[in-house]
Amino acid sequence: MTTAVIETERSGRIGARAAVLAYLAVCGVVLLLMMLLGLAMRLAQAQSIELSPALFYVLMTMHGAGMVGIAGLGGAAIMWHFLRRYVPLSTGVLVANLVFFLIGAVLILGAGFIGGFAAGWTFLFPLPALSGFQWSVNAAAAYLLGLVSIGVGFLLLYLDIARGILSVYRGLGNALGVKQALGLAPLADGPPPAVAAATMVTIVNTTGIVFGAAVLIISLVNLYVPSFAFDPLAAKNMIYFFGHVFINATIYMAVIAVYEILPIYTHRPWRTNRAFYLAWGLSTAMVLIAYPHHLLMDFVMPAWVLIIGQVVSWLSGLPVLFVTAFGTLTNTYRSGLKWDVAAGLVFLGVAGWVVGGVPAVLDATIAVNGVMHNTLWVPGHFHVYLLLGMMAMMLGFMTYLAGAKSPFGMAPVGFWLYLIGSSVFVLSLLAAGSASVPRRFAVHLQAWLPYDQVGSLGACLSLAGAAILVVRFLALLPAAAREDAAKP
Amino acid sequence: MIQDVVWGSSIVAMGAFAALFAWVAAGADLALPNYGPVIASAYRLRGWLFAGAVVILVAANYRTLGELPYVSLAPRPAGPVATAAAIGEQWAWSVSPNAFAVGQTVEFHVTSKDVNHGFALYDPGMRIVAQTQAMPGYTNILRYTFPQPGTYHVLCLEFCGLSHHDMKSDITVAAP
């Protein structure tokens, strides 16, 4: 293992760091653009600005695809950056993934803003082919091909990560710490947290992407050969399996930033123990099984599958969330930590993840889902753990890489604007969801406008905060390229 | 309504977690001279908390899995059950019949002629009381007993294209 670390450090250090920074620069810029689209949608629902329904749904589709894309990209940057300390990874493959991503992004943006494609980022079969004359078959194909391109890039990346892990650990089970979890090997020989997390993500995301690619190709063929029909329920299962796994994996990648960065500030190592390895092992299986909670209102699904969907959803987040949340709290507790924006964002990320688990688990409960499904409760819960969880970790990583030694300037203001604005924003969504306001409606009833107005205010503040943090990162990019820039 | 219970319990639980993190963050700049005993106590606490979480998990699932909306698992009501066809098509609902009486149990046979739709039943106060998906090639059966008179509304809750937000219909429920 030592040899591998040394080789990794020798090979293309500057190129690797530059590639990670390029990932983060793309993520930062796209994040701001996507937040701007989100704000525009909220303002339109509040009737503060006018957007035609056609444009609203294009923005909605672009926002969804863009945010899921950069959540994956940002998570991958975090994972790759820290994982290469332990296993040899190819910078070329990392760059190739970014190229595939950018090609996909161009296709998706063209499909939406030129072709008018607006089937939602989940492209539920057969909506891409049946637009009601709102977009052409070619526009739908461009969108689907864009997703295929992004999927191919990520698949290459995960295959290279699997190669790197296997070259050092000689088995995914070893890299996941299965022997340590079962008490069959000493804890001292267990993999570092970053390796265990990366192994879990590699297993679930490779599986998820294969299913996503299959349903994308089927949908593509159906566009041009309508007689090539596919079962809508099977397509929905495949799409939500892929989507659920992919978006969950983003936070499992981003949490590596917590394991690696927080101990630098607290001067306490992140302890791995049997519970840690057990948690990651269990979560690997449960993330793959929990997806039926997206189909709880499809009554034709076998009831036992939906019941498993509920039970496993309650279980799935618990192990890793529990060890990570508890680890974060004990690692930080009276550690003498000197807070800065990077540490604050990483810590906030764990808090947001935990807090976001509450409305998520409740929505995965069948009795609750019956009155909450596809209301604004759903974007409410996933914006808690994406905005305040995953994205906070990513912004923390960006701030950390940009150099904690560099002056923070307005960054503390950015942190508080982001925290307060995002909190107001997500609470407005959850409150609206509990009042049965539907999600994905371009036009809202008068009675729903107060939620939209408060949400717009929150989105404004959140966007302003994110803008400060991203602009600081971009301004410090040249300094961030130096290897020692990140040391606090 | 369920929504109010969910909203209230979410606020309390989310607030408690947020307060816990804020408390630890606020005291983090103080350095403990001896961390060892603290971490040992913390791990014992973690065991208890995990056990508590499992108890809550089991209890919540046991309680909620007894109230499933799936007709295949629910006992047949004692009284008569009316049947209504609910068919979604970009961008309109066809619900037939669409007039019922208070106390009447209705089974909506929900399907779609084109893409996926969501059949959501809103009460006269515009709160969701029941829903299911409308999928081409499949029929979902949603059983509901109307508790109060008035005009109920059907909205589409699965995004289905340009006029998704306009895909609405009404159901009239008369007093007995």
Q: What is the CATH number of the domain that holds B97?
A: 2.60.40.420
Paired with A438 in beta bridges are A375
Using the predicted structure, report yes or no on whether residue B106 has a pLDDT greater than 80: yes
- Give the nearest partner residue to A299 out of B31, B50, B141, using CB atoms: B141
> pLDDT digits over B16-30, tens only?
999 999 999 999 998
Residues of A in contact with B20 (CB under 8 A): 329
Which A residues in the span 22-81 are in contact with B, Cβ-Cβ below 8 Å?
53-54, 57
Is residue B131 within 8 angstroms of chain A, CB to CB?
Answer: yes
Same domain, B97 and B152: yes
Last residue of a domain, one of B33, B65, B97: B65
The closest CB to that of B116, out of A124, A134, A266, belongs to A124
B93, part of any domain: yes
Q: Average pLDDT of B136-152? A: 97
Share of chain A above pLDDT 90, in %: 86
Measured between CB atoms, which of A297, A355, A445 is closest to B131? A297
Look at residue B71 and tell me if it is in a domain: no
Contacts 24+ apart (CB under 8 A), A156-159: A156/A93, A156/A96, A156/A97, A156/A100, A157/A76, A157/A80, A157/A93, A157/A94, A157/A96, A157/A97, A158/A201, A158/A202, A158/A205, A158/A206, A158/A209, A159/A206
How many inter-chain contacts (A to B, CB under 8 Å) are there? 229
Q: How many domains does the structure of chain B reveal?
A: 2
* Residue B9 to residue A318, Cβ atoms within 8 A: no
DSSP percent split of chain A into helix, strand, coil, nearest 5: 75, 0, 20
B44 lies in the same domain as B110 = no
Q: How confident is the model over A235-283, as pLDDT tens digits?
A: 999 999 999 999 999 999 999 999 999 999 999 988 888 989 999 999 9
Residue A126: band (very low, low, confident or very high) from pLDDT cuts 50, 70, 90: very high
In the stretch 416-435 of chain A, residues with CB closer than 8 A to chain B read 430-431, 434-435
A348 in Cβ contact with A262 (< 8 Å): no
Q: Cβ contacts (< 8 Å) between B113 and chain A: which residues?
A: none
Within a domain: residue B138? yes
Check whether residue B8 and residue B41 sit in a common domain: yes
Q: CA-based angle A312:A315:A321, to the nearest 5?
A: 135
- Could you report the predicted ipTM of this complex, rounded to two decimals? 0.95
CB A55 within 8 Å of CB A164: no
pLDDT for position A7: 40
In sequence order, the 6+-apart residues with CB closer than 8 A to the CB of A59 are A37, A40, A41, A51
Give, as one character, the DSSP assignment of residue A114: I
Q: Choose the closest CB to B164 out of A339, A371, A440.
A: A440
DSSP A227: T
Query: Between the CA of residue B145 and those of A147, A434, B102, B130, B173, what are the distances in Å?
Result: 44, 22, 8, 10, 11
List all residues of chain A from 196 to 215 with a beta carbon under 8 Å from chain B.
Answer: none
Inter-chain CB proximity A127 and B14 less than 8 Å: no
DSSP-assigned letters across all residues of B81-108:
EEEEEEEEETTEEEEES-EEETT-EEEE
Pair B147, B99 in one domain: yes
Chain B residues in contact with A294 by the CB 8 A cut-off are none
pLDDT at A350: 96
Q: pLDDT at position A160, please?
A: 97
Does B165 contact A443 at a Cβ distance shorter than 8 Å? yes
pLDDT band at A404 (very low <50, low <70, confident <90, very high): low
Tokens (6 digits) for A386: 């994406």
Angle value at C-alpha A209, between A207 and A212, nearest 5 degrees: 115
Residues B132 and B58 both lie in one domain: no
Shared-domain flag, residues B136 and B87 = yes
B42 and B90 share one domain: no
Q: What pLDDT score does A487 carry?
A: 53
The rounded distance, in Å, linking the Cα atoms of A257 and A240 is: 27
Q: Is the pLDDT of residue A6 over 50?
A: no
Looking at the partner chain, which of A232, A347, A359 has a beta carbon nearest the beta carbon of B136?
A232
How large is the average pLDDT for residues B116-145?
97
Name which of A472, A479, A387, A469 is nearest A424 in CA terms: A387
Under the banding of pLDDT at 50, 70 and 90, the label for residue A9 is very low
Phi, psi dihedral angles at B140 (to 5 degrees): -95, 135
pLDDT digits (tens, 9 = 90+) for A212-245: 999 999 999 999 999 998 999 999 999 999 999 9
Choosing from B17, B40, B65, the residue where a domain stops is B65
Last residue of a domain, one of B19, B44, B65: B65
Chain segment A372-381, per-residue pLDDT in tens: 999 999 999 9
Please give the Cα distance from A193 to A190 (Å, whole number).
9
- Pairwise CA distance, residues A441 & A436, whole Å: 12
The reply to whether B125 and B92 lie within a common domain is: yes
Domain assignment present for B141: yes
Per-residue model confidence (pLDDT) at position B46: 82
Mean pLDDT over each residue of chain A, to the nearest integer = 93
User: Which of A436, A443, A449 should be substituted to probe chain B, the one whose Cβ sees the most B Cβ atoms within 10 Å?
Assistant: A436
Residue B72: inside a domain: no
pLDDT the model gives residue A14: 54
Please report whether residue B144 resides in a domain.
yes
pTM, two decimal places? 0.94
Both tokens of A348, joined, read 């906030």
Domain span holding position B26: 2-65
Tell me which residue of A252, A254, A198 sits closest to A392, measured CA to CA: A254
Q: How far is A422 from chain B (nearest CA, A)?
A: 14
Using a CB-CB cut-off of 8 Å, the residues of chain A touching B157 are 373-375, 438-439
The mean pLDDT of A365-392, rounded to a whole number, is 96
Distance CA A55, CA A413 (A): 33
CA dihedral for B4, B9, B10, B12, sign (positive or negative) = positive
Q: Stretch B51-73: mean pLDDT, rounded?
A: 89
- Residue B97 forms part of a structural domain: yes
Within a 13 Å sphere around the CA of A253, how many CA atoms are in the beta-carbon half?
A: 29
- Distance of residue A143 Cα from the nearest chain B Cα, in angstroms: 15
Across the interface, of A127, A336, A447, the residue whose CB is closest to B115 is A127
